[in-house]
A = this chain, B = another copy of it.
Amino acid sequence: MKISRFVPPARVLLGPGPSDVPARVLLAMAQPTIGHLDPAFINMMEEIKALLQYAFRTDNSLTLPISAPGSAGMEASLANLVEPGDKVIVCRNGVFGARMADIVGRIGGTPVLVDNAFGEAVDPDKLADALKRHPDTKVVAFVHAETSTGVLSDAKTLAEVAHRAGALVLTDTVTAVGGVPVETDAWGLDAVYAGTQKCLSCPPGLSPMTLNERAMDKVKGRREKPRTWFLDFNLLMGYWGTGKRVYHHTAPINLLYALHEALVMLQEEGLEASFARHRQNHERLVKGLEGLGLEMAVPAAIRLPQLNSVLVPAGVDEARVRADLLAWFGIEIGAGLGELAGKVWRIGLMGQGSNRRNVALCIDGLRAALAAQGYHP
């Protein structure tokens, strides 16, 4: 089998992630690899930590990128915070909550699912009720921005409810960070993890995270080691810490160049400006979709500006629309996941991909793909 160079086709990534990566970030990543113990690299690690503190709005000293994608960040947080026998309330309102519950079971915890309908936000009252029924809950976990549905939950209120019951709060901000406010310190989120390939405009493969003192105390006070060596925070702290570094694994050097540059871009624009831009282009997109006679799947109050679920109109073959967009324009949009499979499209305007050019292109492309099926506004 003779295999030759791979050349990716030209794409515009308007799905649930990865999002388009700016040339600046791609070129930063293509700089020559250096050693992970090189003084210059260690200095860059410090800068990444500071830039992530900015992105997460936190002063937590344990703020670092896990050397694997966002789902490893989910596993890392749970595997470290949850001890065998611990009860963990997982608020489920989409695909990613279900995944959390699976992980809790594997590491010996007891998951308690608090279910909200697919496409609804997590209900703080349901969480409060569950905490009353399970007062021995150690950790409450929820997804801030559900990528499978395009729904934003009220992390601040959920954290308050959990803290009143004495539980730690673990928040998935994979799709949130950089696109909507994530106030780690102000909201008292105890453990937060994210991904790089959504609103940070960086290739996938890293999971930024942050833990506050309360969470660190739980990790340090564990009765037994986490059931993972690769994701053990005590070991990762030794590798990323400010004292003498202890070799753990080989960090993904070039991906970290990319993350550094993507975070420099975020800092240059400013978080508030980034949030406003996501909001503004979201509004433009909704207007354009409504102009096509399409309906949003999620109520305005809980819509994610960076991930837009749109109802597939009756009589339209949703997969063919996606295929035509890809073939004719190179546009990738997302299919529905789980209960929403076949019922919605998911249109991402994430990170640098949230711009007017992409809104215009998306609306125009959809118009053409729908017209090909005899659908007209």
- The reply to whether A32 and B3 form a contact with Cβ atoms under 8 Å apart is no
| Apart from A3-B50, A34-B332, A204-B250, 15 more pairs, CB < 8 Å | A8-B32, A8-B33, A8-B41, A10-B32, A20-B33, A29-B30, A33-B203, A35-B332, A67-B68, A69-B249, A203-B254, A204-B253, A205-B252, A227-B228, A254-B258
Tell me whether A44 is interfacial, beta carbon within 8 Å.
Answer: yes
Shortest 10 CB-CB contacts between residues of A and residues of B: A205-B252, A30-B30, A68-B68, A71-B249, A203-B254, A204-B250, A227-B227, A26-B30, A75-B230, A21-B33
Tell me whether A287 is interfacial, beta carbon within 8 Å.
Answer: no
- The reply to whether B6 and A28 form a contact with Cβ atoms under 8 Å apart is yes
A36, B13: Cα distance in complex, Å: 11
Which stretch of A100-108, A275-283, A364-372 is in the interface?
Answer: A100-108
For A230, list chain B residues within 8 Å (CB).
68, 71-72, 74-75
What's the minimum C-beta distance from A361 to chain B, rounded to whole angstroms? Answer: 16
For A70, list chain B residues within 8 Å (CB).
249-250
Given A3-B51, A30-B29, A33-B18: A253 touches B11 (CB 8 Å cut-off) = no
Tell me whether A294 is interfacial, beta carbon within 8 Å.
Answer: no
For A33, list chain B residues within 8 Å (CB).
8, 13, 18, 20-21, 26, 197, 203-204
Tell me whether A186 is interfacial, beta carbon within 8 Å.
Answer: no
29 A-B pairs whose Cβ atoms sit less than 8 Å apart in the complex: A2-B267, A3-B267, A5-B264, A6-B261, A8-B40, A9-B34, A11-B38, A17-B250, A18-B33, A18-B34, A18-B250, A21-B32, A26-B254, A29-B30, A35-B332, A36-B204, A38-B326, A38-B332, A67-B68, A69-B251, A99-B229, A103-B229, A106-B226, A107-B227, A195-B250, A205-B205, A205-B252, A205-B254, A227-B228
For A75, list chain B residues within 8 Å (CB).
228-230
Tell me whether A1 is interfacial, beta carbon within 8 Å.
Answer: yes
Q: How many residues of A contact B (CB 8 A)?
A: 81
For A30, list chain B residues within 8 Å (CB).
26-27, 29-30
For A50, list chain B residues within 8 Å (CB).
1, 3
Q: How many copies does the complex hold?
A: 2
What's the minimum C-beta distance from A329 to chain B, rounded to whole angstroms? Answer: 14
**A residues 310-324 touching B (CB-CB < 8 Å):** none
A36, B70: Cα distance in complex, Å: 14
A263, B2: Cα distance in complex, Å: 11
Which of A29, A33, A47, A251 is most buried by chain B, counting CB atoms within 10 A of its CB? Answer: A33
For A326, list chain B residues within 8 Å (CB).
38
A9, B44: Cα distance in complex, Å: 12
A257, B17: Cα distance in complex, Å: 17
A307, B257: Cα distance in complex, Å: 27
